[in-house]
Chains A and B, each alone.
Chain A
């Protein structure tokens, strides 16, 4: 071990080298440019902090744009199309072309129209179930974390049971019993079985917030419990609720598609899942009618991918270390270029 308190006088070459380094040191603007730091925050600085963090996150914005495009497509698609999604619109299995943009199904229904109408239902079920699951998770997670004691024990038990029970098999049982579950029933069942993760993360977060000074001072001032929960704790929880909502929506959209694909949904409802179900049942792949099966596949995959991108952004906002890790590659390269040790954490 070298003795750090005792500094040896520098040799002349060492001093020269240091001065050369100092001369080549970058100006502040150069540094900012190289490290990808924007000089002025611009219009985003006027937004609330959480929103600004989201808007400046490229992954999150890409996800939001894809989602908006999908929503716009399902809202406007039926306006553009002249066909009825449930009626025969042409000959069976017409190739995509001028008359039918995405071709027709074996039943002669227009795939483009079905895709747009199906998007309305599938997205509504997915977002609805995700929102409901996040709300249930929020209510149970905050109550368990804030009230503690016996209430916490009981609620945590239920959270763990919901987490442990296998979701899809349970939904299969419920859906079979209600015979041909409509999209609404599927959404309700998914919301009731999908809140476990949200409740767990929100409970942990509440536990750590509960002992903070601002909550304590609100308690000392004699604030009512519901007011402390709503006004003091809840705003600090928004990104976790958002995370629960995004993850819940992904799970709900995928599960809805899976359930309808295996034939548990109402086959007369038009959703992306039932489109897949009919395509598979009519052996669309085997008979070469790729346009019957790929459009709903691509729509579901795009939705999933967009939500994952949004979730990346939410993760980076709740956990700044993940965001910092994005810059580290640049910093490392920058140091290497300047001949410094690139051994940074």
Chain B
């Protein structure tokens, strides 16, 4: 428990840092977002109206007051008002996009982690063999291809040339969202290529990580003892070595969530997928600051939650942590 509490304290501190950064970065730049809105009315506003708009964007009062009120609104999951579609709150669009991004990232993390780890276990067990010397370098090189390029290649081949997959959207627009087979099928069909492109650039990392940790463990005494006892290969491989090797992998998995979300942002842009990335892209073009800041906070929160989950998983898998 003490371990988890310590981690929780760290995540709260990290979240505090992210909010603080998010507060100060725009304020270090010249001008503030409300100035744009006010300027767009070209002097047709009176004093009270200007004041009201400035208050709505939280840029009145001393820096300290602004900071406190910003912190309060973040805790209420209120991400402020869009600076482009003026009276619209940012949160609704943010959560809509985040749902679809979650679908992409969740599916691709799952497949990449499982398939990459299994390949890594296999490569480490038969290290130096054909599988290891052929697939390990190739998988890791795929890992160094940026999601943007892989997405472009897949989009070109399967959506534009072969026309096997749709050109955009998260589901068939004629279907009503709901938990029926047809809708879920349509969602999966539309998600196939985006998920595949994130998968291609991420599974090599799990392969290499698992392989390298396993190779270090294979020479440990407990493994030699397990084999000397005459345990089956399978049992030694999965229960003894892989179980120990998977723990640093789970920690790395949580840390990589931020990176994968970054990949998803770019992928969505290529596939015209209505996730956070596509809305962030429109927000970048229209300079919708509150949306861009909101996406950072939301993504930071999800990365922190993922890290907390990985700590819990580590406690479950590693009895040593339960004592400490």
Chain A contact residues, CB within 8 Å of chain B: 59, 157, 160-161, 163-170, 172-174, 176-179, 250, 254-255, 257-258, 261-264, 276, 280, 285-286, 290, 293, 297, 300-301, 304-305, 307-309, 312, 315, 319, 321-322, 325-332, 345
Contacts of A250 in B (CB 8 A): 144
Q: Does B147 contact A (CB under 8 A)?
A: yes
Contacts of B263 in A (CB 8 A): 168, 258
Contacts of A255 in B (CB 8 A): 262
Please report the C-alpha to C-alpha distance between residue A297 and residue B124 in the assembled complex, in whole angstroms: 32
Question: Are A164 and B303 in contact, with the CB atoms below 8 A?
Answer: yes
Contacts of B270 in A (CB 8 A): 280
CB-contact partner of A308 in B133, B140, B156, B299, under 8 A:
B140
Contacts of A293 in B (CB 8 A): 152
Question: Are B259 and A168 in contact, with the CB atoms below 8 A?
Answer: yes
Most buried by B among A157, A167, A174: A174
Q: Does B61 contact A (CB under 8 A)?
A: no
* A169-B296, A173-B293, A322-B212 as given contacts; A276 in contact with B148, CB under 8 Å: yes
Question: Are B262 and A263 in contact, with the CB atoms below 8 A?
Answer: no
Question: Are B143 and A176 in contact, with the CB atoms below 8 A?
Answer: no
Q: How far is the CB of A68 from chain B (nearest CB, A)?
A: 18
Contacts of A327 in B (CB 8 A): 128
Question: Are B133 and A322 in contact, with the CB atoms below 8 A?
Answer: no
Question: Are B14 and A165 in contact, with the CB atoms below 8 A?
Answer: yes
Question: Are B255 and A167 in contact, with the CB atoms below 8 A?
Answer: no
Q: Whose C-beta in chain B lies nearest to the C-beta of A247?
A: B144
Please report the C-alpha to C-alpha distance between residue A124 and residue B295 in the assembled complex, in whole angstroms: 30
Please report the C-alpha to C-alpha distance between residue A172 and residue B295 in the assembled complex, in whole angstroms: 10
Question: Are B145 and A304 in contact, with the CB atoms below 8 A?
Answer: yes
Q: Does B127 contact A (CB under 8 A)?
A: yes
Question: Are B284 and A172 in contact, with the CB atoms below 8 A?
Answer: yes
Q: How far is the CB of A159 from chain B (nearest CB, A)?
A: 11
* A165-B258, A309-B137, A312-B140 as given contacts; A258 in contact with B25, CB under 8 Å: no
Question: Are A329 and B128 in contact, with the CB atoms below 8 A?
Answer: yes
Question: Are B224 and A157 in contact, with the CB atoms below 8 A?
Answer: no
Contacts of B17 in A (CB 8 A): 161, 165
Contacts of B293 in A (CB 8 A): 173
With contacts defined as CB atoms under 8 Å apart, how many contacts are there between chain A and chain B in the complex? Answer: 176
New A-B pairs, 18, CB < 8 Å, besides A168-B258, A176-B289, A305-B145: A163-B255, A164-B304, A165-B258, A166-B300, A169-B296, A169-B299, A257-B148, A261-B269, A262-B265, A280-B152, A285-B155, A285-B156, A285-B160, A301-B144, A304-B145, A319-B216, A325-B124, A345-B223
Question: Are A176 and B287 in contact, with the CB atoms below 8 A?
Answer: yes
Question: Are B155 and A258 in contact, with the CB atoms below 8 A?
Answer: no
Question: Are A176 and B284 in contact, with the CB atoms below 8 A?
Answer: yes
Question: Are A326 and B133 in contact, with the CB atoms below 8 A?
Answer: yes
Q: Does B34 contact A (CB under 8 A)?
A: no
Contacts of B153 in A (CB 8 A): 297
Q: 6 tightest CB-CB pairs across the interface, nearest first?
A: A168-B262, A329-B128, A166-B258, A304-B144, A328-B128, A325-B127
Q: How far is the CB of B154 from chain A (nearest CB, A)?
A: 11
Question: Are B128 and A160 in contact, with the CB atoms below 8 A?
Answer: no
CB-contact partner of A173 in B22, B144, B303, under 8 A:
B22
Contacts of B147 in A (CB 8 A): 258
Contacts of A264 in B (CB 8 A): 284
Q: How far is the CB of B25 from chain A (nearest CB, A)?
A: 6
Chain B residue total in the interface (Cβ 8 A): 69
Contacts of B285 in A (CB 8 A): 263
Q: Whose C-beta in chain B lies nearest to the C-beta of A197?
A: B255
Most buried by B among A255, A319, A328: A328
Q: Whose C-beta in chain B lies nearest to the C-beta of A290?
A: B156
Q: How far is the CB of A50 from chain B (nearest CB, A)?
A: 20
Contacts of A167 in B (CB 8 A): 258-259, 262
Please report the C-alpha to C-alpha distance between residue A227 and residue B224 in the assembled complex, in whole angstroms: 43
Most buried by A among B147, B149, B215, B300: B149
Most buried by A among B265, B287, B293, B296: B296
Please report the C-alpha to C-alpha distance between residue A167 and residue B261 in the assembled complex, in whole angstroms: 9
Most buried by B among A165, A174, A304, A330: A165
Question: Are B26 and A177 in contact, with the CB atoms below 8 A?
Answer: yes
Question: Are B10 and A157 in contact, with the CB atoms below 8 A?
Answer: yes
* A304-B141, A307-B144, A330-B128 as given contacts; A345 in contact with B224, CB under 8 Å: yes
Most buried by B among A167, A169, A261: A169
Please report the C-alpha to C-alpha distance between residue A293 and residue B293 in the assembled complex, in whole angstroms: 31
Question: Are A285 and B152 in contact, with the CB atoms below 8 A?
Answer: yes
Please report the C-alpha to C-alpha distance between residue A261 and residue B215 in the assembled complex, in whole angstroms: 38
Q: Whose C-beta in chain A lies nearest to the C-beta of B28?
A: A177
- Binary A-proximity of B295-324 (CB < 8 A = 1, otherwise 0): 110011001100100000000000000000
- Binary A-proximity of B15-37 (CB < 8 A = 1, otherwise 0): 00110011001101100000000
Question: Are A325 and B215 in contact, with the CB atoms below 8 A?
Answer: yes
Most buried by B among A157, A262, A307: A262
Question: Are B296 and A166 in contact, with the CB atoms below 8 A?
Answer: yes
Q: Whose C-beta in chain A lies nearest to the C-beta of B266?
A: A258
Question: Are B212 and A315 in contact, with the CB atoms below 8 A?
Answer: yes
Question: Are B149 and A301 in contact, with the CB atoms below 8 A?
Answer: yes
Question: Are A304 and B212 in contact, with the CB atoms below 8 A?
Answer: no
29 contacts between A and B (CB under 8 A): A59-B137, A160-B10, A164-B11, A165-B303, A166-B257, A166-B261, A166-B299, A167-B259, A168-B258, A172-B292, A173-B22, A176-B292, A257-B149, A258-B148, A262-B277, A264-B284, A286-B160, A290-B156, A297-B152, A297-B153, A300-B146, A304-B145, A304-B146, A308-B143, A309-B137, A319-B212, A325-B124, A325-B128, A326-B128
Q: Does B57 contact A (CB under 8 A)?
A: no
Please report the C-alpha to C-alpha distance between residue A263 and residue B13 in the assembled complex, in whole angstroms: 32
Question: Are B284 and A301 in contact, with the CB atoms below 8 A?
Answer: no
Please report the C-alpha to C-alpha distance between residue A254 and residue B148 in the assembled complex, in whole angstroms: 9
Q: Does B43 contact A (CB under 8 A)?
A: no
